[in-house]
Amino acid sequence: MKIFNSTFLLRLAVAIIFLSHSLHGIFTNNDVNDFGNLFLNKIGFAPFGVFIAWSVVLTQIITAVLLLCNRFVKAAALLNIGILITGIVLVHARDGWFVVGGGRNGMEFSILLIFVLLTLMYPDGTGVKTIAQRSVT
């Protein structure tokens, strides 16, 4: 599997997004622990909030590297899609669609990332086409 194929620029962009988001959380103001303690624990994940927060951050770092190396792309994409859907449900949906402009902290960026990850999983569309054919029959 070649690293520099037709999906390289898309994989690079997504990896940069996941790495910058995760590494920023690690190296700035105790963000990961605060997210676990001040948000996840309060919405029902206590006492595992910090563990979950760190699991998410480490998963995004590892999967970003996998995407860059063009290894285990489907698994990396699925893990991140799960994280993004969970983030939409727990955090972003209540703030609406827009991240900026018409709102704040909405779900539009997460939806875009999910579709980018689906595109990386099925770059030639065959998997998506097969799923669509199954639902028609």
**Predicted local distance difference test score (pLDDT) of residue 51:** 98
Task: For residues 101 and 103, give the distance between their C-alpha atoms in angstroms, rounded to a whole number.
Answer: 5
Residue type, 134: R
As a three-state string, the secondary structure of 14-53 is HHHHHHHHHHHHHHCCCHHHHHHHHHHHHHCCCCCHHHHH
Selection from 68, 93, 86, 90 nearest residue 18 by Cα: 68
How far does CA 72 lie from the centroid of its chain?
A: 15
**Predicted local distance difference test score (pLDDT) of residue 130:** 64
Q: Please list, in sequence order, all residues whose beta carbon lies within 8 angstroms of the beta carbon of residue 14, skipping any fewer than 6 positions away.
A: 64, 67, 113, 116, 117, 120
Which pLDDT tens digit goes with each residue over 69-97?
999 999 999 999 999 999 999 999 999 99
Selection from 125, 117, 130 nearest residue 83 by Cα: 117
**Residue boundaries of the structural domains of the chain:** 8-136
**84 close to 92: Cβ distance less than 8 angstroms:** no
Please say if the pLDDT value at position 132 is more than 80. Answer: no
